[in-house]
């Protein structure tokens, strides 16, 4: 088991920014100055609060798939430790990055669209393997019955299925549905995540 020694840790500056959830249209409020830490008791409490969160099983490193210097939070934190005079502006930049990342679901919409396409193909393969025939529907134009292929699985139908299976709750469904509609409109996509 790894033991952490925080005896040499110092807390010299503290700034508080409020970062809302972008999906819920909450705002981000940035501070323009640091908070004063005047009393030893306050400092001791803050150190205990911040450092008690570190546990050996929850130890993380900054990473990036190409180059660590391309990890934005790592680069901004590195600037702060190299030059304390940039603490306030760079802490604001970190807050903005966190706020922007709160608008992304765990899986990017492009991957959701690809998953829906794979589920559609899988559904069709199941029907073929079990010899399930498509529904026959009456065509009022040609006055005949035709096999009616069901629509592909859309992103919204996947979201509602996740809710039905209790993977997400009503609040998460509402937030994800709203985020999907916004992303779909901005990216000019159809219901299946394909360019329209």
Question: Could you tell me if 15 and 31 are in contact, meaning their C-beta atoms sit under 8 angstroms apart?
Answer: yes
Supply the pLDDT for residue 54: 59
Q: Domain spans of the chain?
A: 18-101, 109-187
> What is the C-alpha to C-alpha distance for residues 123 and 85, in angstroms, rounded to an integer?
58
> What is the C-alpha to C-alpha distance for residues 67 and 177, in angstroms, rounded to an integer?
34
Supply the pLDDT for residue 52: 67
> What is the C-alpha to C-alpha distance for residues 77 and 74, in angstroms, rounded to an integer?
5
Q: Please report the beta strands in 20-168, taking only residues with DSSP state E, as ranges in sequence order.
A: 28-29, 135-139, 144-148
- Quick: pLDDT tens for 14-45: 888 888 777 667 788 999 998 887 777 777 77
> What is the C-alpha to C-alpha distance for residues 190 and 196, in angstroms, rounded to an integer?
5
Supply the pLDDT for residue 1: 47
Supply the pLDDT for residue 102: 64
Residue 59 clears pLDDT 60, i.e. is over it: no
- Quick: pLDDT tens for 146-162: 888 888 999 999 999 88
Supply the pLDDT for residue 156: 94
* Least-confidence region, from 7-11, 79-83, 113-117: 7-11
Structure pTM?
0.50
């Amino acid at each position: 088991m790894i033991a952490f020694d925080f005896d040499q840790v110092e807390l010299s500056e503290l700034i508080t920014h409020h970062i809302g959830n972008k999906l819920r249209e909450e705002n981000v409020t940035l501070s323009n100055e640091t908070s004063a830490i005047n009393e030893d008791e306050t400092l001791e409490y803050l150190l205990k609060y911040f450092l008690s969160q570190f546990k050996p099983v929850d130890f993380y490193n900054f990473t990036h798939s190409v180059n660590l210097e391309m990890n934005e939070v790592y680069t901004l934190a590195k600037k702060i430790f190299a030059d304390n005079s940039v603490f306030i502006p760079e802490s604001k930049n970190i807050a903005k990055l966190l706020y922007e990342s709160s608008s992304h679901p765990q899986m990017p919409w492009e991957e959701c669209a690809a998953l829906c396409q794979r589920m559609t193909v899988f559904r069709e393969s199941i029907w073929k393997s079990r010899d399930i025939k498509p529904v026959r529907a009456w065509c009022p134009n040609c006055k005949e019955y035709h096999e009616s292929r069901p629509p592909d699985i859309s992103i919204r139908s996947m979201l509602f299925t996740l809710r039905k299976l209790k993977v997400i709750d009503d609040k998460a469904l509402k937030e994800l549905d709203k985020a999907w509609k916004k992303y779909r409109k901005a990216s000019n996509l159809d219901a299946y995540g394909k360019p329209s």
